[in-house]
Amino acid sequence: MTGLDELDALRGREMFQHFDDATFARFKEAVSLVEHADGEIIHSVGVPLADGGQALMIVLSGTVRISTEVDTKTQVPVARMMKAGELAGLVSFARGGAPTADSRAVGDVRLAVLTRKKYDELKQSDAVLAAAVGLTIAKQLARDLRACNRRLANALYKGINRDDLPSFVRR
């Protein structure tokens, strides 16, 4: 499957269903295809992107491991494996600033990337497309927040069963 085929396949995904055909065609022109080899670091937390801006990443093929490690001693990793059709880079794209998580290619990865600079241009030149992208971003952020709230509620109210803890955990 080529990058363009993979890009076309996004059209069938729920997050892109509000795009009409013409808008989706312009979306395909607005993004750039980027490839990363297995193990390659895509973004590092706190390290600004090369152009100083932000970028929305859409996984077209392969898997991207997103993780945040909060302390060099305790290193509690929060990892999420993202596959085709999923979006990354949303928090820094929406709020500005450097990436808030590390991302690394697991296997060979192909991404569609929309830079903040390009998105800002679209707001002036193609508001219909910018609004469609904006709706995708807002909807995915909402979905991620709902999932994160659920995790926090589980952590706060249910706790973790002591017997489930693996041997490497020290208390």
List residues binding other proteins (CB under 8 A).
14-15, 18, 63, 65, 68-71, 74-83, 86, 90-91, 94-95, 100, 106, 123, 127-128, 130-132, 134-135, 137-157, 159-160, 164-166, 168-171
Q: Write down the least CB distance from residue 159 to other proteins, Å.
A: 7
Q: 5 or 150: whose CB is closer to other proteins?
A: 150
Q: Write down the least CB distance from residue 47 to other proteins, Å.
A: 17
Q: 37 or 70: whose CB is closer to other proteins?
A: 70
Q: Write down the least CB distance from residue 157 to other proteins, Å.
A: 8
Q: 4 or 152: whose CB is closer to other proteins?
A: 152
> Which string of DSSP letters, residue by residue, matches 114-148?
EEHHHHHHHHHH-HHHHHHHHHHHHHHHHHHHHHH
Q: Write down the least CB distance from residue 90 to other proteins, Å.
A: 7
Which residues, including other chains, have CB under 8 Å from residue 102's CB and lie 6 or more apart? 41, 43, 44, 45, 66, 67, 68, 69
Cα(9)–Cα(22) distance, integer angstroms:
15
Which residues, including other chains, have CB under 8 Å from residue 26's CB and lie 6 or more apart? 126, 129
Cα(20)–Cα(104) distance, integer angstroms:
32
Q: Write down the least CB distance from residue 110 to other proteins, Å.
A: 16
What is the b/e burial string over 84-106, where b = at least 16 CB atoms within 10 angstroms of the residue's CB? bbbbbbbebbeeeeebebbbbbb
The strand pair at 87-88 and 41-43 is best described as unpaired
Q: 42 or 82: whose CB is closer to other proteins?
A: 82
Q: 28 or 80: whose CB is closer to other proteins?
A: 80
